[in-house]
Structure 1
């Protein structure tokens, strides 16, 4: 039903859908929820999300795509142990699963069939939680205007997790059954069981804290990369550059942390003034160098020896 376009539209996220176009005149519907793929403009009219995501949006999606992959790799390594020769194949399979899931997710979203996305710009944190801003004009009846104002940054993550889970359930059991000869029968599928736990957890985190993650993920990356690097080097008893060169796997882990750390720095800069922020990438090896230079002073055996000599 057509309404007067000047009639008040209650609520911060309620809008009037465009029902028809009569020449140059638009005919609007009742004020309410915008269809999926649309959000309100400054005049409270529902408009198609036709912009391309900003680089920061892509970096956010990349972070959400990396989370399952990193967790896959962690649990594969955790449960494979030193006796298994299948860990490398499982790592490659997990990478293949997440890559195919990401590409498929892009292809099934608008524009369908292209590795592109149509999106609406994120303006503020409340855009992620439109369900909290449903108005009650008469304080009795609530006008439900919940829609994805950050289309498709909220729902695309759930689609990606779904594809990742399906591909894992199809590919990983077949691979493990054939090549995981170094593991006992009860241990072969533990990395898959772990994924069946962390996928629901990631889904809940995205559902509840998607907007918070959008603004905080660069800092989360930096903090976690520093903590995990320190824990890994400590657990591997790496105290010098020579210890790093003993095994190629240690160098792979080190460079992986450096890449993730650089990813966090680039995300923080948002590439607004990337040329000025580019020198910050020189700080990426800093935590590793600091650890190697100070590790000998914090070695527990050395500290106990000095305490003993003091007495």
Structure 2
């Protein structure tokens, strides 16, 4: 009797497993046969096992290309993704340093030498503060992304330019109505940049005003009244400039994120070349000997030139695949070539030597 009951229970259990498997296979087959229109519309699995109507997947999910099921973004960012995020972090840092150099170095705190202005303690403190601000913003951004509390990031890979502009790809079945499936397909590469810019503002406003207060003396406390006036206002100008260019960067990211993602290595190479040429063109004496001497003997000029070289090398490293770096490493030896080319050919483009007939 006991054996008969055990056999009956086993048979019932096997029948239930077979029925559940058949039901699941039927549900999957139904999902495959009824794919959602468009490439970004998906279905969410409901608690009762059924599937919802086609629509936008929730944040952190993306529609599967084979069945239109919303699957979670559990992939790790590729090396190119990390390079892109590094580029987005370098943008505000570079602009911070540029405006700090413009307001505190080139205009006010200029220690004139034969080869131009050099660094001062005040400008170096502001440069260091900008680096700390951006670094803290990067760390906080990574901690806020999924998985929260970790420097790792879960993401969905970006396959096409359209992944950044899902708003433009809402399908219209039979041209009768529009199915709104706008979502963050390139999760979280799109949204985390906005979080980063917002944190840049918050962190800067938490550090920079105190730095202006402590580092730059007020007019009444100056030991040398011959210094330009007013010094504190130019310290504040470094804050005001960031309050302008950070929203502009956010707007550009909102409109051109996909284009920036696929073109930033080339943009970085071209901009570093142009910026390096402008740096040399600002020198009054365009002779090769003077340009070379001012670059080697002045720490500020050398740091600026090395910064251009690093940005140029960074752009090249983003273009070369990781598997081919060992083969194409000699290309990095050409990074100083544009600067040397400018120094050696500047005498041929000196406007003073151009004579009109």
| TM above 0.5 | yes
The DSSP-based 3-state class of the residue aligned with 1:47 is strand
**Aligned 1:286-305 pairs, distance under 5 A:** 286-301=337-352, 303-304=353-354
Contact 1:72 1:191 in 2 (8 A): yes
How far apart are 1:275 and its partner, in Å? 1.9
TM-score (structure 2 length as normaliser): 0.80
Contact 1:52–1:118 at 8 Å: present in 2 too?
yes
For the 8 Å contact 1:40–1:47, the answer to whether it is kept is: yes
- Structure 1 residues 156-215: Cα deviation after superposition (integer angstroms, max 9, x where no partner): 100000101101111101101221236614322111111111111101100000000001
Cα drift, residue 8 of structure 1: 3.7
4+ runs deviating over 4 angstroms: none
- 2-structure distance, mates of 1:102, 1:150: 19
Q: How many residues align?
A: 301
Q: Which among 223, 227, 234 is matched to residue 187 of structure 1?
A: 234
Of residues 208, 212, 216 in structure 1, which corresponds to 2:263? 216
1:48 aligns with 2:48: no
Deviation of 1:236 after TM superposition, in Å, equals 3.2
Distance 2:149 2:175 in 1: 45
Shift of 1:41: 1.6
Find the aligned partners of 1:75 and 1:157 in 2 and give their Cα distance. Answer: 22
Point out the structure with max Rg over C-alpha: 2
Greater shift in the superposed pair: 68-77 or 274-283: 274-283
User: What is the rounded CA distance, in whole Å, between the counterparts of 1:100 and 1:178 in structure 2?
Assistant: 21
1:29-61 Cα offsets, whole Å, 9 max, x none, are 221111111111222111111111111111111
Give secondary structure in 2 for the equivalent of 1:187: helix
RMSD between aligned residues: 2.0
1:226 pairs, out of 273, 297, 313, with 273
Whether 1:28 aligns to 2:51 is yes
Q: 2:208 aligns with which of 172, 196, 211?
A: 172
1:133 matches 2:169:
yes
Aligned to 2:151: 115
- Secondary structure (helix, strand or coil) at the match of 2:62 reads strand
Kept in 2, the 8 Å contact 1:55–1:270? The answer is no
Is 1:14–2:41 an aligned residue pair? Answer: yes
Structure 1, unaligned stretches of length 5 or more? none
Once structures 1 and 2 are overlaid, which stretch shifts more, 236-245 or 261-270?
Answer: 236-245
User: Aligned pair in 2 of structure 1 residues 259, 121: CA closer, same or farther (>3 Å)?
Assistant: same
Residue of structure 2 equivalent to 1:69: 93
Contact 1:56 1:270 in 2 (8 A): no
Aligned 8 A contact 1:49 1:151 in 2: yes
CA distance in 1, matches of 2:182, 2:273: 38
Quick one: distance in 1 between partners of 2:293 and 2:271?
25
Distance 1:263 1:8 in 2: 42
TM-score (norm: length of structure 1): 0.91
Match of 1:258 in 2: 309
Matches within 5 A, 1:82-101: 82=106, 83-84=108-109, 85=120, 86-101=122-137
Residue 243 of structure 1 and its aligned partner are, at CA, apart by 2.2
Would you say 1:152 and 2:188 are equivalent positions?
yes
Q: Work out the CA distance in 2 between the residues paired with 1:169 and 1:150.
A: 30
Aligned mates of 1:207, 1:233 — CA distance in 2: 34
How many Å separate the matches in 2 of 1:255 and 1:231? 15
Cα deviations by residue, 1:242-300 (Å, 9 ceiling, x for unpaired): 22122111111111111100000011114242222222111101101111111222233
Give the secondary structure class of the aligned counterpart of 2:194. Answer: helix
Pick the structure with more helix per residue: 2
Q: Which runs of 5+ in 2 are unaligned?
A: 1-26, 110-119, 218-226
Task: Name the structure 2 match of 1:267.
Answer: 318
Q: Does residue 198 of structure 2 align to residue 198 of structure 1?
A: no
Shift of 1:138: 4.8
Match of 1:281 among 332, 340, 343: 332
